[in-house]
Amino acid sequence: MAASRQAVWGDGHTASICSGKETLMNSNGFRPGVAPGTGRTRPGAQSGAMSGGVEAQGILDSRLLPDSEFLKLWDSIIVDQQLKDRLLSQAILSFTLRPTVDKAAIPLHGVILLVGEPGTGKTSLARGLAARTAEVFGKNSNFTYLEVEPHALASAALGKSQRAVTELLGTTIAEPALRGPLVVLLDEVETLAADRSKLSLEANPIDVHRATDAVLAQLDQLAARYPRLLFVATSNFPRAIDAAFVSRADLVLNIGMPNAQACTQILTDAVQALAKHYTGAGKILSDSRFRTAAELCVGLDGRRIRKIVPAACTFDKETALDPNRLTAELLLRAVQHEKGVSAGIQEETR
């Protein structure tokens, strides 16, 4: 006979878990995190890092959502609005469709994969997405966020990785997934789900192979058991991710480098952030050389563009001491320097 357990919500309400399948007592389909007839959050809820109360090997952060820091991240990333809308809709859909539709006909795994060059905002978008999704479902939707530390599991050399993966996905993540809606960030997922077809026979491939197998098996189990669990994975190296993992993703989005308009917005945002504390720096936004500097940023990633503003303060000590003195000329010089450096790196790696 199937084993039956009870998951207890913060307010004492229980949900039945039968044979590992959670049955929400809500005939209307699912309303994430809101125990039927209630709207309360867990008692003692705080906010910010580690407010989610999950501390375990392989977990970098856990927090209650929506989280104000993460909501700011969502707004701070300047990408095509359609891409952002699609990403958010996919996350919402995951929580509305998965508890209701026939899994055999519509196989949704609750996995979104963001790929792209370093510094294009993938991790920020993933964290922001978790918070925005929770916000859409309402303040009392009881969403939790977990962030996995992939390197803690990549101990293939010690022969532990398969066990660590099973422990992390099968236990550490499954437990909070029983309690309410959960968004899990799998940053740098290629370390966790390495492409088995590319493993070199010299580099202890058996363990890595088994670890990838374990990730896939656990994902299938989790997808079947927890319709209120969403993984958001990121990677700089999509070709290093196992094809079977990519195939399980419900949506794969390529986050590209910022275009000219986005470059201007990112640079403006960074100058404004400086000008909040050093108002004198704000004047460069109306200087014609600012536009030239912004246009020159095309080809740089968002992280490098933001770093140009502090870098521009390093050409003379007086500006470093008093960033109010920052000029558009220094900013232009910093962009030219950055472009020169990145062209040099590209040349070397060719």
| Contacts to ligand ATP by CB under 6 A | 76-79, 116, 118-124, 234, 236, 258, 262, 266, 302-303, 306
Residues 137, 32 contacting (CB under 8 angstroms): yes
Q: Which residue is nearest to ligand ATP (CB)?
A: 302
- In the complex, the smallest distance separating the C-beta of residue 341 from ligand ATP, rounded to whole angstroms, is 17
Binding partner at 76 among ligand ATP, Mg ion, none, C-beta below 5 to 8 Å by kind: ligand ATP
- 172 lies in the site for Mg ion, by CB under 5 A: no
Phi, psi angles (nearest 5°) of residue 90: -65, -40
Cβ nearer to Mg ion, comparing 52 with 150: 150
Eight-state DSSP code of residue 287:
S
Residues 191, 151 contacting (CB under 8 angstroms): yes
| Sequence-distant (≥ 6) Cβ neighbours of residue 283 within 8 angstroms | none
Q: Which residue is nearest to Mg ion (CB)?
A: 123
Residues 132, 88 contacting (CB under 8 angstroms): yes
- In the complex, the smallest distance separating the C-beta of residue 48 from ligand ATP, rounded to whole angstroms, is 18
Out of 41, 51, 123, 327, name the contact with Mg ion by CB under 5 A: 123
Cβ nearer to ligand ATP, comparing 118 with 159: 118
Binding partner at 78 among Mg ion, ligand ATP, none, C-beta below 5 to 8 Å by kind: ligand ATP
Strand ranges for the chain from DSSP E = 4-8, 14-18, 21-23, 59-64, 111-115, 144-148, 182-186, 229-235, 251-254
CB atoms within 10 A of CB 221: 15
How many chain residues are in contact with Mg ion, going by CB under 5 A? 1
| Sequence-distant (≥ 6) Cβ neighbours of residue 80 within 8 angstroms | none
Between vectors from CA 305 to CA 303 and to CA 306, what angle results, nearest 5°?
70
CA distance 323 to 312: 9
- In the complex, the smallest distance separating the C-beta of residue 47 from ligand ATP, rounded to whole angstroms, is 21
Interaction site with Mg ion (CB under 5 A):
123
